[in-house]
A and B are shown apart, each in its own frame.
Chain A
Amino acid sequence: MSFYDKVLYSDQVGDYFAETDMKRQIDHQTKFVAFIMGGPASYSDDMLRRVHARFEISRADFDEVATLLRTTLEEFDIERDDIDTIMYEIESRSPVIISG
């Protein structure tokens, strides 16, 4: 079961995504992961803060999604180093994403 399924079935965070336009969500996540892996996209902290603010995301919510992402990446046999890089980059943005 891939990441979007996991997130949506999660009781902790699923409701946040219930009304999400998946096409846009996938677009953002593709670009975001490309960005933190050094790809051709950019997301400033300001931008991340702005788009997440209205959800009042808690530390527990953040950790849940991060864990689901890590599990998914592991399931797809992504290189350990790459997973660590992605998770590190995501964790470093927790202060701007968590607001609840």
Chain B
Amino acid sequence: MTMNLEAFNRLLLELIGVGLAVFNAKTYEMIVSNPLFAEWFPLPENGPRKLTDIVPAIDPDKLGEKDDRFSTEVEVKVKRRTLTIAVKISLTRTIGPDGSDEEKALLVECNNITKVKELEYMIESYSELVEKNERQLRREKERAENLLLNVMPKAVYEELKDYGVITPTRYDKVSVLMLDFVAFTEMTISSDPTQLVSELNDIFTSFDRIVEQFGCERIKTISDAYMAVSGMPEANPDHAHNIACAAILFRRYIRERNRSSQVSWQCRIGVATGPVIGSMIGVQKYVYDIFGPGVNLAARMEALSDPMEITLCESTADIIGQDFNLENAGEAEVKGFGTQKLFKLPREAEQRSRRDLPNYLH
């Protein structure tokens, strides 16, 4: 069986879609090409086809010196279709017709990579979409997370995330701080309410920082009242000490602030140590809250405070009496708790902490 090798080769070349041409390496004029090459790069009307017309990027001087191969991509228009053609040019050395002289020719191989390119564009475009979407989702998640962290301690949020529920938990060794401002309601009426609320926001933001600094948790604010806790959700042996430090810094912050502010803020602070229960309350609109004797007692202590005073109950005083110079404030009848001994945390200037109270409190 014989076959027309030339025809077979031609068919093969057309099938695999390689455009082939040979150019004179000296003049860059085309010597021969296959039909596909001719389709992509039709002969110019006047004169021979030069390689430099097809591949302007080629530097004739460089080829054949160091790199014998040169690859590039060019765009051609066939009818209305713009095709991307990958062009590979290689310098070939042939033996001259007389058998001795070496002649140089340039073999130009072309592949139609339009489809590959278009696929690349498509994938690029789609992955861009997906990435953008992911970024948006991540941002949304962060926002939701930050919102939730505003209404519950981080450890509680982690529990909610991992188990989907929060079990009400009893904590025994916890100290609670309650603060509110003297005559806040009257202040809102007498001054510019917008400015007042903005100042309150300012103050609470600073309180949040102080609370964080001492490893306490802000539980909530109700109007002008601020509630913080130490020793939960994570137990902390220094809960009473930490909350006392926060109380001192709260008062100090207010005093410093009043020096340069038009509005004079007067706070009352109550501190108590006792058991509390922490739980998520609500289904649609939920919030993390704490309940129990520790909370109630702190509220009573606060009510018994004079402006800019910090009042402690006996259970707190017992723990931190060693560390702070507390002032005995006698006894009072406390609703729900009977007769209670009261203690005051005097101005920090009079404090002499025997423990690691930060320097700026001395």
Contacts and interface: CB of A to CB of B under 8 A. Distances in A.
Chain A, interface residues (CB within 8 Å), range: 10 to 19
A39 B127 CA distance: 12
Interface stretch (B51-59, B76-84, B262-270, B318-326): B76-84
Contacts of A9: 79-81
Given A2-B115, A26-B118, A40-B133, A34 B126 contact: yes
Contacts of B80: 8-9, 14-15, 17-18
B129 A8 contact: no
Contacts of A79: none
Contacts, number: 42
Contact of A30 (B79, B81, B82, B125): B125
A41 interface: yes
Interface in A1-59: 2, 4-5, 8-9, 14-15, 17-18, 22-23, 26-27, 30-31, 34, 39-41
B130 interface: yes
Given A5-B81, A8-B79, A14-B80, A39 B129 contact: yes
Interface string B69-81: 0000000000111
A41 to B, nearest CB: 6
Nearest to A26: B121
B304 to A, nearest CB: 59
Interface class of chain A by DSSP: helix
Contact of B125 (A4, A5, A14, A31): A31
A9 B115 CA distance: 15
A15 B81 CA distance: 10
A4 B118 contact: yes
Contacts of A26: 118, 121-122, 125
Interface of A: 2, 4-5, 8-9, 14-15, 17-18, 22-23, 26-27, 30-31, 34, 39-41
